[in-house]
């Protein structure tokens, strides 16, 4: 049995596609675990699950120890040997705790998960994405976390059928409790789902110059604004929602335009999977050009207004 869990619905569907492929390869079934009301349980069957366990009466707020109890119950009950978990912040915490609890191998942030001679094998980017580590498990239960957009979800199949079961699992008493959860005030920017991102870097001289980047972004319909770390973390010209890179958001848009970004590996780690990368930088030797499909060597203060003009004329 292959078991799948994510707190992110979209990621759950992507994991289901991979779980389906693995389960078919091994002649096994796929179980998805949902904690809470389980409104979307039927939907998960249509995206590849054979069975959905809705864990009811569980904790309200996420607490890794308690969620690990729920997943342990589901793994033991289903006899699952492969567990795929979405690589969200809480997903990674959960996976490692689960690994410790079950004595299971746990690989975090796997970009590829596949069977090699029937053995579960994963690939992970290491050294900020400069190398790929190919890894196998020595344990009976194998846990892998997978980031968003590593796999495409299956086409929704309204004809698929499966079981939805409501269960209550034993949850232990732990040394800490969640006092309250306060919703983050977000500016509504979701770079991770954006199809087009125009990104600003330290090549900008002043905060006001962001308007120029915004104008370019607006000229390309369906845009989202991104930025390098100094713009969000040091200068605070944009919120962290827009920050892209190793310690920011990982993005995979169809088009990524980097304006005045040097292309240090920590930035590249967050946007290298973009379909088309365009870089504008006045330094012909800037590392960003090694990752770019199209490069414009020039001053953003001259190139960007020209691009805006051209786009507006189209
Ligand atoms: C642990 C760790 C995690 C990190 N995580 C991240 C992360 O998640 N995201 C991230 O972005 N960084 C991250 N960094 C920082 C990263 O190493 C770089 O310092 C950062 O990406 C640089 O941002 P930048 O390219 O905007 O600025 P700079 O490196 O200062 O580059 C500015 C670029 O603009 C060009 N430029 C200047 N003026 C103009 C002009 N008028 N026209 C055209 N081009 C111009 C310059 O040639 C230069 O290439 C991390 C670093 C560490 C150590």
User: Residue 113 maps to which CATH number?
Assistant: 3.40.50.620
For ligand 1, atom 7, name the residue with the nearest CA. Answer: 245
Parent domain of 210: 191-313
Instruction: Say if CB 81 and CB 115 are below 8 A apart.
Output: no
Q: What is the pLDDT of residue 186?
A: 63
Query: Which residue blocks in the chain are alpha helix, DSSP H?
Result: 9-26, 41-46, 64-78, 89-102, 210-219, 229, 265-271, 288-291, 300-313
Q: Which residue from 61, 51, 12, 15 is spatially nearest to 31, judged by alpha carbons?
A: 51
User: Residue 290 maps to which CATH number?
Assistant: 3.40.50.1220
Q: Which atom from ligand 1 is nearest to the alpha carbon of 227? A: 11
Q: What is the pLDDT of residue 69?
A: 96
Does this model's pTM top 0.95?
no
Together in a domain, 78 and 203: no
pLDDT tens track for 104-142: 999 999 999 999 999 999 999 888 778 999 999 999 999
pLDDT classification of 251: cutoffs 50, 70, 90: very high
Q: Determine if ligand 1 sits within 6 Å of the CB of residue 198.
A: no
Q: Determine if ligand 1 sits within 6 Å of the CB of residue 228.
A: yes
Of 118, 152, 167, the one marking the end of a domain is 167
User: SS3 breakdown of the chain: % helix, strand, coil, rounded to 5?
Assistant: 35, 25, 40
- Residue with token string 């604004």: 225
* Choice from 231, 259, 267 to test ligand 1 binding pocket (greatest atom count within 8 A of CB): 267
């Amino acid at each position: 049995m292959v078991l799948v869990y994510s707190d992110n619905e979209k990621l759950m569907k992507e994991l289901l596609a991979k779980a389906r492929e693995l389960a078919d390869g091994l002649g096994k079934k796929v179980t998805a675990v949902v904690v809470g009301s389980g409104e979307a349980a039927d939907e998960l069957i249509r995206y590849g699950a054979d069975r959905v366990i809705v864990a009811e009466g569980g904790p309200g707020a996420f607490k890794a120890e308690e969620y690990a109890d729920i997943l342990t119950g589901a793994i033991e009950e289903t006899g699952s040997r492969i567990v795929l978990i979405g690589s969200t912040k809480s997903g990674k915490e959960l996976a490692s705790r689960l690994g410790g609890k079950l004595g299971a191998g746990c690989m975090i942030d796997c970009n590829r998960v596949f069977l090699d001679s029937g053995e579960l094998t994963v690939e992970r980017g290491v050294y900020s994405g400069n190398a790929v580590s190919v890894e196998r498990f020595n344990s009976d239960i194998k846990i892998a976390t997978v980031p968003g957009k590593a796999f495409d979800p299956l086409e929704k199949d309204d004809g698929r059928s499966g079981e939805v079961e409501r269960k209550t699992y034993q949850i232990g008493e732990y040394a800490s409790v969640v006092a309250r959860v306060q919703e983050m005030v977000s500016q509504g920017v979701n770079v991770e789902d954006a199809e087009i991102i125009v990104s600003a870097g330290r090549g900008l001289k002043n905060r006001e110059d962001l308007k120029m980047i915004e104008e370019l972004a607006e000229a390309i319909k369906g845009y989202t604004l991104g930025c390098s770390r100094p713009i969000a973390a040091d200068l605070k010209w944009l919120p962290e929602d827009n920050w892209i890179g190793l310690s920011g958001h990982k993005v995979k848009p169809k088009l990524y335009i980097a304006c005045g970004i040097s292309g240090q590996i920590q930035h590249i780690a967050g946007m290298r999977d973009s379909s088309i990368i365009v870089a504008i930088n006045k330094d012909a030797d800037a590392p960003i050009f090694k990752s770019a499909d199209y490069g414009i060597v020039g001053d953003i203060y001259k190139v960007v207004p020209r691009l805006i003009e051209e786009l507006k004329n189209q």
